[in-house]
Structure 1
Amino acid sequence: MHTTKSDSRLASASEIREIVGPVDGEVIARILEIEPTVEDVRRAYQWLRADEPLLRNPEFSLGRKAEEVFEILDDELPDFDSSGRPG
């Protein structure tokens, strides 16, 4: 399911995997505990994958739940280093 408009439904495990790719069940469980929307997960993953550090401007706020999802993804996905670039 790929939509272009904001999706405010709570994200399911399958939707999280669709957005971020194959991840461990424990990571999915941690994300589900936050009760993020599909849009929260998308924003967090886009932020993680940002090519330019400027896109990760500290003045821009993802929103509380998206930031929490970002923190989990940043800790758990070895494919990306702290700059958001593939490691």
Structure 2
Amino acid sequence: MPTHKVDLRNASASEIREIVGPIDEEAIVRILEIEPTIEDVQRAYQWLRADEYHFRTKESNLGGKAAEVLEILDDEFPDFDSSGHPQNPR
């Protein structure tokens, strides 16, 4: 049975940018203050980009640090185009 290796290291600024693309420095600082893992950032960004998110309230079932990252990303990227990429990042 294949196992899924989880990286428990805290995400760095460059890793956050690699996951979400261009993002305001202030948002990076806010995310770093949460001390999320790379997986937390990936889960938050995937949730933000998912179609289901746009039909639900801002309450997510992510929980923990991923939910906190999602809140910051939602403020930073309020609109996505049809390909799931942010429009007009701040």
Trace 1:26-65 onto structure 2 (pairs within 5 A).
26-53=26-53, 61-65=61-65
Aligned positions, number: 82
Q: Which amino acid aligns with 1:15?
A: E
Normalising by the residue count of structure 1, what TM-score does the alignment of the two structures yield?
0.75
The root-mean-square deviation of aligned C-alpha atoms, in Å, is: 3.1
Secondary structure at the aligned position of 2:23 is classed as coil
Q: Which has the larger radius of gyration?
A: 2
Specify whether residues 70 and 53 from structure 1 end up closer, same or farther in structure 2 by C-alpha distance, changes over 3 A only.
closer
Trace 1:1-87 onto structure 2 (pairs within 5 A).
5-53=5-53, 61-80=61-80
Identity %: 72
Q: Which amino acid aligns with 2:8?
A: S
The answer to which of 31-40 and 48-57 deviates more is: 48-57
The Cα shift of 1:24 comes to 0.9
Which runs of 5 or more structure 2 residues have no equivalent in the other structure? none
Off by >4 Å, runs of 4+ in structure 1: 53-58, 84-87
Specify whether residues 32 and 53 from structure 1 end up closer, same or farther in structure 2 by C-alpha distance, changes over 3 A only.
closer
Which runs of 5 or more structure 1 residues have no equivalent in the other structure? none
